[in-house]
């Protein structure tokens, strides 16, 4: 069964190096999102009952200084996911260390439009 591999890191500047390393491991594509964690959200907006009903236009346009990136990639059954972990850790440091990121997998029962990896 294929797996969805997810990497979330605050080391945004490292994403290009991670993707290059993952391509060398054999992935054929990935999707990257800018994302924010709960801690950042609470610091910025306070408790959930304090969230603004209508955020200002400036806050929507302003680039977040402490953004994180979430990378998604689906790998085929039998793919050596440990290679991806090792490659990511060579770039951002051990994932068990603080402020590096988290990585996890989720089984994928069906896919459409997924290119075969070499």
pLDDT in tens, 56-101: 554 554 444 568 999 999 999 999 999 999 999 999 999 999 989 9
DSSP conformational letter for 59: H
What pLDDT is stored for residue 63 in this prediction?
Answer: 47
Question: What is the tens place of the pLDDT at every residue in 16-58?
Answer: 999 999 999 999 889 999 987 776 556 666 555 555 555 555 4
Q: Which long-range contacts (CB under 8 A, 24 or more apart) does 11-14 make?
A: 11/91, 11/92, 11/100, 11/101, 12/67, 12/68, 12/69, 14/91, 14/92
What pLDDT is stored for residue 37 in this prediction?
Answer: 77
CA–CA separation, 111 vs 28, rounded Å?
A: 15
CA–CA separation, 53 vs 66, rounded Å?
A: 23
CB of 31 closer than 8 Å to CB of 71: yes
CB neighbour class for 19 (10 Å; exposed up to 12, middle 13-18, buried from 19) = buried
Q: What is the CATH number of domain 3-36+66-107?
A: 3.30.70.120
pTM above 0.95, yes or no: no
Order of all β-strands in the sheet with 102-107: 31-35, 68-75, 3-9, 102-107
Across the chain, mean pLDDT equals: 83
């Amino acid at each position: 069964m294929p797996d969805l591999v997810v990497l979330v890191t605050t080391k945004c500047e490292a994403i290009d190096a991670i993707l290059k390393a993952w391509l060398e491991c054999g992935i054929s594509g990935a999707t990257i999102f800018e994302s924010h964690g709960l801690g950042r959200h609470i610091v910025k907006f306070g408790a959930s009952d304090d969230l603004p009903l209508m955020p200002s236009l400036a806050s929507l346009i302003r680039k977040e200084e402490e953004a994180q990136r979430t990378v998604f990639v689906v790998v085929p059954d039998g793919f050596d996911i440990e290679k991806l972990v090792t490659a990511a850790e060579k770039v951002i440091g051990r994932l068990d260390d603080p402020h590096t990121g988290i990585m996890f997998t989720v089984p994928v029962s069906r896919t459409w439009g997924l290119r075969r990896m070499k």
